[in-house]
Structure 1
Amino acid sequence: MKIGILQAGRAAPELAAKLGDYDDMFRHLLAGYGFEFRSWAVLDMEFPAGPEDADGWLITGSVHGAYDDLPWIAPLEALIRAIHDSGRPLVGVCFGHQIIAQALGGKVEKYPGGYAVGRSEYVLNGKPVFLNAWHQDQVTRLPEGAEVIGSSAFCPHAMLRYGDSMLTIQPHPEFDDAYIEGLIRARTGVVPEPQLAAARAEFGKPNDSAAIARMMADFLRRKEG
């Protein structure tokens, strides 16, 4: 099964050299599920011809906001709607979660309460899960057809499902502790130091990235054949 990765951002150069770029992280996260991958750097206006170029799709995170006035945002939204209409499965993570909601009529805003950073607790289908996060933007108004399947006190719309066609996740199952540590070093001054210290204190504790990867893979494979 061919998964098309729509790359909406890049890892910081000093981190990418050691830990890989965003598309590499998803290839690693979803390794072992029988997928083949192709990436399109949509942030550079590199787009597939259409939904038929892959069997399933995934949109990465980004330093940019879904609401930013950038030339590739509108074409990406159009592609999201085309994928939705095609019936092919689409998974979105962080920015991907947000841009899918916006493309379908929802609203994304910068949260005035600040950032979620590092290991964070969510409730998914009634059970606690822990995932790494790094975001301030949030989906603040749901589009029609979106069902909340995961949430936290900080982020009420943390995980959404749109029937059998789309699955979106605000936190980062593809980010390990090493990447969060690198972000803390690379973005000093963006997040208050006490919050960064609290995030560092969580390094080494278990998280549920493997379970979320399995959920994503199962969702993508549901449309296979």
Structure 2
Amino acid sequence: MRINILQHTPNEGPGAILDWADKHQHEVYIYHPYQFGKLPKAEETDLLVILGGPMSPNDDLPWIRQERALVKEIIEADKPVYGACYGAQMISKVLGYKIGKAPAKEVGWGPVDLQTNTIPGLPKQLNVLHWHEEMFEIPQDAEVLYSNEVLRNQGFVMNGRIVGLQCHLEPEKTNIREMVVNDGDYIEGSVLGQNAQDILDAEISPDNKAAIFKIFDYITK
């Protein structure tokens, strides 16, 4: 399987997703469209991963317009798609739904609660990394996957092939350090009330990696 990953900022990489790919001996290609303007072709994509970033799917930039077209083509081809944060918003936007301000800015660690058992074996609650102040609408044909008290729309699952999460399951310890040292100013104003050191000191639950493995197993089955 060829996994094409769209990375949208240097400090938000694929993290544990690479471990899942290695486990199954899949080929991974990482694109940086914000920098190089390059995107894969739909026909050379078996699984599309859309990572987070500081931009919005609403932004009128040439590469974002091109990315929307690619995501639409891959969804229409019934190929598996996973979106994290901006990536989940991009999926919702392509499907015709609105992206706008969330009720509050969430940056730091906090729980999300499972809302459906469609994906077997997911934990009832996960302590995940949040790094956002926008949100997606849940597509009409999708189920809410995770929610919390701040934001109902923390994740969705759709058609057995698509999962979007507003939060982040993929970061590992080095990824967290990279996010904090490069984008730590963004923490200010978060409803979660954590500082940079709080975020760095938090233990990453092994449940997060296990959950992302189950999600990828599900959409690629």
Which has the larger displacement, 192-201 or 154-163? 192-201
> Aligned pair in 2 of structure 1 residues 112, 170: CA closer, same or farther (>3 Å)?
closer
Q: Which residue of 1 is the match for residue 211 of structure 2?
A: 212
Identity across matched positions, percent: 23
2:160 equivalent in structure 1: 164
TM superposition shift of 1:98: 0.7
* Farther-moved stretch of structure 1 (211-220 vs 72-81): 211-220
The one-letter code sitting in structure 2 at the alignment partner of 1:123 is D
Residues 4, 45 of structure 2: 8 Å contact kept: yes
Query: Deviation of residue 29 (structure 1)?
Result: 5.4
Shift of 1:182: 4.2
Gaps of 5+ in 1: 12-20
Residue in 2 that maps onto 1:17: none
C-alpha deviation, 1:216, in angstroms = 2.8
| CA distance, structure 2, for counterparts of residue 149 and residue 8 of structure 1 | 24
Give the aligned length.
210
Q: What RMSD in Å do the two structures reach over aligned CA positions?
A: 2.5
Decide whether the 8 Å contact of 1:184 with 1:196 is kept in 2: no
Q: TM-score, normalised by structure 1?
A: 0.81
1:134 to 120, 131, 135: 131
Residue in structure 1 matched with residue 3 of structure 2 by the alignment: 3
Q: For residues 180 and 205 of structure 1, do their structure 2 counterparts lie closer, same or farther at Cα, with a shift above 3 Å needed?
A: closer
What is aligned with 2:120? Answer: none
Unaligned runs of 5+ in 2: 118-123
Which has the larger displacement, 27-36 or 98-107? Answer: 27-36
Instruction: Say if 1:5 and 1:58, in contact at 8 Å, map to a contact too.
Output: yes
Residues 94-120 of structure 1: CA deviation (Å, up to 9, x unaligned):
111111001111111132522232x22
- Structure 2 vs 1, CA of residues 197 and 96 (structure 1 numbering), >3 Å: closer, same or farther? closer
Task: Give the aligned partner of residue 97 of structure 1.
Answer: 88
SS in 2 for 1:22: coil
Q: CA deviation at 1:198?
A: 8.2
SS at match of 1:114: strand
Q: CA deviation at 1:27?
A: 1.8
Cα distance in 1 between the residues matched to 2:74 and 2:158? 13
Kindly provide the amino acid, as one letter, of the partner of residue 8 in structure 1.
H
The two structures have a TM-score, normalised by structure 2, of: 0.83
Query: Aligned match of 2:146 in 139, 144, 150?
Result: 150
